[in-house]
Structure 1
Amino acid sequence: MSSESIGALIEAERLPDDYAEVVEQYWRPLAEEIARRKDGKRPLLVGINGAQGSGKSTVCRFLEVLLGERGLVAVTLSLDDLYLTRAERRALAASVHPLFATRGVPGTHDVPLGMAVLDRLLAGEPADLPRFDKAADDRDSASRHVPGPVDVVLFEGWCIGAAPQPSYALGEPLNGLERDEDPDGTWRREVNRRLATDYAELFARIDLLIMLEVRDFEAVRANRRLQEEKLGAGPAVMDQAALDRFLAHYQRLTEHMFAELPARADILVEIGRDQRPLRLSTRGQTL
């Protein structure tokens, strides 16, 4: 099963043939480390943090196969699939702040739904995983049924495990979006409040936190452009100007995570500008 399954996944993901070397050098050791942390009792919840376009979804697909080789059933839940519907975000924009119409930051996800899905998976019960259609910018009517039980839950998302900023850091606008559209800081303070409350409760369920660390926000911008191009056509597919504005919503928390999350992550994967891993380490020790 091993080489054939990996080869099929490389082909399905439209990755170059030499990506098999990446799998053997990085993703297989990562799967082995995850398997080592599984204690045989309840399912292990693995949080995978990574900025936009860092390759979280691809990593999870390989981890599912590699963990399967070790007899472990793994399933992936994406934080992106927990986004509020477009109508719900419009209502939030009307009642709290207009910037909440755009998906992405804490406050634009259905946290109770995420908790309910994770609680069912961690209890060994069947669960229906929601889906979000980014090209349509709305939740898909279809869901993915997981019959359960599973051994490992891979919970991936751009702000998985993020901690709130100190209040004094919220005063000055970080970019033009904040300066022009959130001059009094209402939006960013509410994002921060949500991180400190219900999102903190959600992330507290994580047993093992992995960070895919890209170099800087310019790398995020380049990676996200490639990701957008893969979406093809759709009413919510963005041109460069729209993408720049979209990413401005993410910049504050992304740069905050760059600064503080590496020291807290259980496993750190350094990602190069070609979106390939450079180093895999656990609390300072190379795997």
Structure 2
Amino acid sequence: MAIDLHAASWSLDAMKTLGEILSDWVRAQRRADDQPLLLMLSGAQGIGKSTAMRQLARDIPGLVTLGLDDFYLTQAERRSLADRVHPLFETRGPPGTHDLTLLNQVLEGLLSGAPTSLPVFDKASDDRCPPSDWPWVSEPPKVILLEGWMIGALPDAGAPMSAPLNAVEAQDEQGHWRSFQERALADGYAKLWDLADAFCHLCAPDFSAVLNWRLQQEESNLGLLPGTLPDERRLWVARFIQHYERITRRMLAGGRRSGLAIHLDAQRRVVGAHQSS
């Protein structure tokens, strides 16, 4: 692809909201041809991607946003994967639990300008919605933004042999769950990342902030006041994000595709940014 990513200048204005800063970043990207831009955005759970996406939808004409979460394998497909590889694959989220064939088909349709339906995953039922419920994009997009927690993550071939980070990884005694993830990152996901014109990474200060944000997100999802999440649900959230811990920590340490890194503090305030080559 003939891409000129530096045709427009980009600078951080800390007085702006995260959504406004991301809008500035999107507008700063350029291609040398008239093809739609394909941008990719990473950010840990609860960091504020959904709020930022609403701002982008208002600011950027011709924007189509795709969430990696909407491309999870179906519940039946994950059960089959769990039977074949490791029981931990019944839980959605880690590399290997996404339908990359479907995602590439959707991207191909959008990039060609053809009318394209966008999958929807219902987290309440833990399964993909029927195609009759998928929205359609009928007009050729100018910008396609793919967002998700692990966008741009790099593989680590040594991870399967390392000591478990938490109780979830301790269930993967032979490293089969981690090995499958690392092979997926080195293959199908790497090919997906190769399609991007540019990356932006929203960086948490540490993993403890990610846990706190995910707890806040769970309270919001359940319509509860801050600090009122029941203990059993707090324990469930703490265990759930252990499925994501290793790769989240890797990305925070720099194990990600190069691009713009926007750093936030524990209150989700933007505190800095830098462009990696």
Superposition TM-score, scaled by structure 1 size? 0.82
User: In 2, distance between residues paired with 1:108 and 1:272?
Assistant: 30
Quote how far apart the aligned CAs of 1:249 are: 0.6
Kindly report the root-mean-square deviation, in angstroms, between the aligned alpha carbons of the 2 structures: 2.2
Find the counterpart in structure 2 of residue 53 from structure 1: 46
- Report if the CA contact (8 A) 1:46-1:153 is conserved: yes
Deviation at 1:223, TM superposition (A): 0.6
Residues 135 and 231 in structure 1, CA contact (< 8 A), matched pair in contact too: no
Structure 1 range deviating more: 160-169 or 210-219? 160-169
**1:234-265 per-position Cα deviation (integer Å, ceiling 9, x unaligned):** xxxx8112212211110011111111246x43
1:45 to 1:23, Cα distance in 2 relative to 1, 3 A = farther
Taking the aligned partners of 2:160 and 2:77, their CA distance within structure 1 comes to: 29
Please point out which of 263, 272, 282 is paired with 2:275. 282
* Alpha-carbon shift at residue 192 of structure 1 (Å): 0.5
170-179 or 184-193, larger mean C-alpha shift: 170-179
Summarize the alignment of residues 130-169 of structure 1 with structure 2, pairs less than 5 Å apart.
130-141=119-130, 142-167=133-158
Once residues 261 and 190 of structure 2 are traced to their aligned partners in structure 1, the CA distance between those partners, rounded to angstroms, is: 21
The separation in 2 between residues aligned to 1:89 and 1:122, in whole angstroms, is 29
Match of 1:123 among 112, 130, 134: 112
- Which ranges in structure 2 are unaligned for 5 or more consecutive residues? 1-12, 224-231
The equivalent residue for 1:249 is 243
Distance 2:161 2:250 in 1: 11
Given residue 73 of structure 2, which amino acid in structure 1 is its aligned partner? L
Task: Show the counterpart of 2:37.
Answer: 44
SS in 2 for 1:48: strand
The residue aligned with 2:165 is: 174
- SS class of match (1:260): coil
| Structure with higher helix content | 1
Unaligned ranges ≥5, structure 1: 1-20
Q: Name the counterpart of 1:28.
A: 20
Amino acid at match of 2:215: R
Among all aligned residue pairs of Structure 1 and Structure 2, give the percentage whose two residues are the same amino acid: 41
- Deviation, 1:46, is 0.8
Tell me what 2:197 maps to.
207
1:186 aligns with 2:180: no
Normalising by structure 2, what TM-score?
0.85
- C-alpha displacement of 1:201: 1.0
